[in-house]
Chains A and B, each alone.
Chain A
Amino acid sequence: MPESCHKVCGGKLVKIRVEFNNNKISKIKITGDFFLHPEETLILIETNLIGKELSECEETINETLKNNNAIMYGIDSVSVSEMIKVAFNEVAFD
């Protein structure tokens, strides 16, 4: 799976493995040394990103966080969305 690995602002290392189908996310796995409360929200974020286009990622993450009263530390929706874009570009220019 194409991946994007990045040390985000705040010093946490985040790795995103993502696959696309017709410019939409078909598989995604986010790993790293960040904090997210409640922790179960990460699976919901990954699930909700399936089928989304790049332009929808940030909003999807923010909505999932809001609906689950969740807070991220050391990572944010902007940096995750940016990393998904980086992974997408890697695939697009392969």
Chain B
Amino acid sequence: MKWRLIELETKNAFEAMAYEEALAESVAGGMNPTIHFWRWKPSAVSIGKFQSMEDDVDIKNCEKQGVDYIRRITGGGAVYHDYDGEITYGIVAPETILSKDITHSYKEISEWVINGLKTIGIDAEFKPINDIVTKGKKISGNAQTRKNNIIVHHGTILYDVNPEKMFSLLKVNDEKIKDKLISSAKERVTSVKQNSSVGYEETYYAIKDSFLRSKEYFKGKWTDREDKRAEELIKTKYKTKEWNFER
């Protein structure tokens, strides 16, 4: 089956989440499996499906800094998506062409990322459940959900990290340990920039090429139907308090 590629685009948090859900419905209805890339503008914090927005996100600081906040349909933790510091990828495909086994599909998609990083000189490995690490530090995080036998998988490649900014947007129960968390994040998290001299664009091309390796594909666009459905989901779901504050 031919894959559809949607090249790197810029989306705000609400569009990003809405298009992904619209895409899942579209693929369930027969659309080609799709690989798409985006960056977040404005930068945003996304939280996992089971997290609490009020517990985990410093909403006041997000608003002060012009950072959006949103709940994902996937589990996992809170992520700060910096416009300049991250490449986000999404893969939506039937289980039949990836894997029915969840852990296996994480591993399979992570291999695409790992091979892409290799071409820019970064040796990385898959760390279950959902991370990719280089020299023991996280460089990519992933999450997925499944609906109607369709896999919706998304992940981020950290191009540049700023733990100070990240923790200014996330809520830490005990302010006294904030400094400790920042130093610990610096020890646990790394970025392309810290491991390679390649630029943002070059990193994107390397990852994209690796994702498409050995696949038949065509460069596509969102269909009118997907545009329309995403617009609807923005209004009825992703911008609503009911969704973002459901836990």
The interface residues of chain B lying within 8 Å CB-to-CB of A39 are 49-50, 73, 75, 145
Residue pair A33, B247 in contact (C-beta under 8 Å): no
Interface residues of A in 1-44 (CB under 8 A from B): 10, 12-13, 15, 29-39, 42
Residue pair B50, A30 in contact (C-beta under 8 Å): yes
User: Which residues of B pack against A, CB within 8 Å?
Assistant: 48-52, 55, 73-78, 102, 129-130, 143, 145-147, 247
A46 to chain B, nearest CB (A): 10
Residue pair B129, A10 in contact (C-beta under 8 Å): yes
Complex Cα spacing A34 to B78, Å: 11
Further contacts, 11 of them, CB under 8 A, given A10-B129, A38-B145: A31-B50, A31-B52, A31-B55, A31-B247, A32-B48, A32-B51, A33-B51, A35-B129, A39-B50, A39-B145, A73-B102
Closest partner residue, chain B, to A39 (CB atom): B49
The interface residues of chain A lying within 8 Å CB-to-CB of B51 are 31-33
Residue pair B50, A34 in contact (C-beta under 8 Å): yes
- Interface residue A86 (Cβ < 8 Å from any Cβ of B): no
Task: Choose from A30, A32, A71 the contact partner of B102 (Cβ within 8 Å).
Answer: A71
Complex Cα spacing A73 to B105, Å: 14
B52 to chain A, nearest CB (A): 5
Residue pair B130, A35 in contact (C-beta under 8 Å): yes
The interface residues of chain B lying within 8 Å CB-to-CB of A13 are 77
- Interface residue A51 (Cβ < 8 Å from any Cβ of B): no
CB pairs A–B below 8 angstroms (30 shown): A12-B77, A13-B77, A15-B52, A15-B55, A29-B247, A31-B55, A31-B247, A32-B48, A33-B48, A33-B50, A33-B75, A33-B78, A34-B50, A34-B75, A34-B76, A35-B74, A35-B129, A35-B130, A36-B50, A36-B75, A38-B145, A38-B146, A38-B147, A39-B50, A39-B75, A39-B145, A42-B50, A73-B75, A73-B129, A74-B129
The interface residues of chain B lying within 8 Å CB-to-CB of A35 are 74-76, 129-130, 143
The interface residues of chain B lying within 8 Å CB-to-CB of A10 are 129
B133 to chain A, nearest CB (A): 13
A60 to chain B, nearest CB (A): 18
Complex Cα spacing A42 to B246, Å: 13
The interface residues of chain B lying within 8 Å CB-to-CB of A32 are 48, 50-51
The interface residues of chain B lying within 8 Å CB-to-CB of A29 are 247
Complex Cα spacing A10 to B49, Å: 18
Closest partner residue, chain B, to A32 (CB atom): B50
Closest partner residue, chain A, to B103 (CB atom): A73
Interface residues of A in 45-59 (CB under 8 A from B): none
The interface residues of chain A lying within 8 Å CB-to-CB of B247 are 29, 31
The interface residues of chain A lying within 8 Å CB-to-CB of B145 are 37-39
Complex Cα spacing A37 to B153, Å: 13
Complex Cα spacing A36 to B102, Å: 11
Residue pair B146, A33 in contact (C-beta under 8 Å): no
